[in-house]
Amino acid sequence: MISETPKQIFEAIRRSSSPLLVLPYGAGVDGYASALGLAKVIEGMGKTAEIVSAENSIPANLGFMPGVENIKPAVKNLRHLMIEIDTSKTHVHNLQHEEKNGRLFISLTPHQGTWEEKDVLISHSAYRHDLIICLGAPDLEACAHLYHEHQDFFFRTPIINIDHSPSNEHFGQINYVDITTSAIGEVCFELILAINHKLMSAEVATAFLTGMISKTRSFRTPHLTPKTLENASRLVSLGAERQKIVRHLFQTRSVQTLRLWGRALARLKSDTESKIVWTLLSQQDFLHAGAREEDLPDVIDELISNSPETNVTVLLYENHAHHICGIIRAEQPHDARHLINTFSPSGTKSEAHICLENKNIVEAEKEIIEMIKKTLVK
């Protein structure tokens, strides 16, 4: 007997013709891997799901996962503009179009007579996607431009909200939020087991276990539960390739990433009282290491691994536009966005992102770290 919420999710997907999986800003490996696994499950139900992400780049260490190259940074061709002409009195003799100065001119020549304005109707087609599945988004704002550019689509389309964070605002029409799980991958695994275990495959199991291993840093995070370890064991028994996952996530690093790690670790600073660690990277560091901003998630993962007693980890860097940006990771019960709320952050409770203009990296360091310390004290 399927419990009510998984049953509702199953029915919503079954009735959908084109579901869209949405990843928020800061989804991380867990979000991406879980979306790929869920898309494969949906494919097994006879549907085709598209995946879009609020970020422009996909974690480099996910290159081993099938389908990762199909994840897009924007929603495209969401619906069409429809131009309807009344041809009951006269037919179209000729149609021409020309694009000029950023405008499209359409010319219609009637077979005889003329058309009046009342004979022309302009409308939009239905949205191409009829179901939204958000993975790991605490609220719609976390979906960044995907939401802001298509608010009408989000308001008019049913949303399934899947998450494991206590900060989730239950914004979906169907909410499946399990705060006892360690990762989105674990939530998705339990969801599919509740719906139909036959939808699981070795590829899907590998995707969900990838999310769990990444989020728990290979099961080294505090507060691991026996349930999480049991679910990981079940995924392995279903064919999840644990050794392959660990190799790609933790043991396959480029020379460029290792160089960037070295520069970040050389400048590592800490405050034992507030349990904060932070470091700085300039554009010169990227150039000397031969690394890119896409390598930063690996760098901050390494910082966390080397600072197991830390509550907050901050990586400040100078981006290609010479703005000072930051990645802030926070362990429960801290909220990364709340810690830097005055800087209008994006992201989630566990990972927030900011960018500051007209400041050098030393000024930004002083301002941001002091703000985090004060907020932690409060």
Q: Give me the pLDDT at residue 308, please.
A: 67
**Domains (ranges, CATH) in the chain?**
4-75+128-249 (3.90.1640.10), 81-124 (no CATH), 255-377 (3.10.310.30)
Highest mean pLDDT out of 2-6, 62-66, 206-210: 206-210
Q: Give me the pLDDT at residue 164, please.
A: 93
pLDDT band per the 50, 70, 90 thresholds, residue 86: confident
Q: Give me the pLDDT at residue 261, please.
A: 87
Mean pLDDT of 236-262: 88
Strand-strand pairing, 92-100 and 324-330: unpaired
Work out the mean pLDDT of the chain and round it to a whole number. Answer: 90
Q: Is 209 or 264 the better-scoring residue by pLDDT?
A: 209
pLDDT band per the 50, 70, 90 thresholds, residue 1: very low
In the predicted model, is pLDDT for residue 82 greater than 70? yes
Encode pLDDT of 104-113 as tens digits: 888 888 888 8
Pairs from 151-155 (Cβ < 8 Å, separation ≥ 24): 153/75, 153/78, 153/127, 153/129
pLDDT band per the 50, 70, 90 thresholds, residue 362: very high
Encode pLDDT of 114-155 as tens digits: 888 888 888 777 899 999 999 999 899 989 899 999 999 999
Q: pLDDT > 90: what percent of the chain? A: 56
In the predicted model, is pLDDT for residue 176 greater than 80? yes
Encode pLDDT of 266-317 as tens digits: 999 998 888 999 999 999 999 999 888 878 877 877 777 667 678 899 999 9
Sign of CA dihedral 225, 226, 228, 229: positive
Encode pLDDT of 225-241 as tens digits: 999 999 999 999 999 99
Q: pLDDT > 70: what percent of the chain? A: 98
β-pair partners for 312: 276, 330
Q: Is 353 or 23 the better-scoring residue by pLDDT?
A: 23
11 vs 28: CA distance, rounded Å: 28
> Are the CB atoms for 216 and 183 separated by under 8 Å?
yes
Which helix (H) or strand (E) element contains residue 54?
A: none
Encode pLDDT of 327-351 as tens digits: 998 887 888 889 998 888 887 777 8
pTM of the entire predicted model: 0.80
216 vs 232: CA distance, rounded Å: 11
> Are the CB atoms for 85 and 118 separated by under 8 Å?
no
In the predicted model, is pLDDT for residue 357 greater than 90? no
> Are the CB atoms for 328 and 314 separated by under 8 Å?
yes
Q: Give me the pLDDT at residue 201, please.
A: 96
In the predicted model, is pLDDT for residue 191 greater than 80? yes
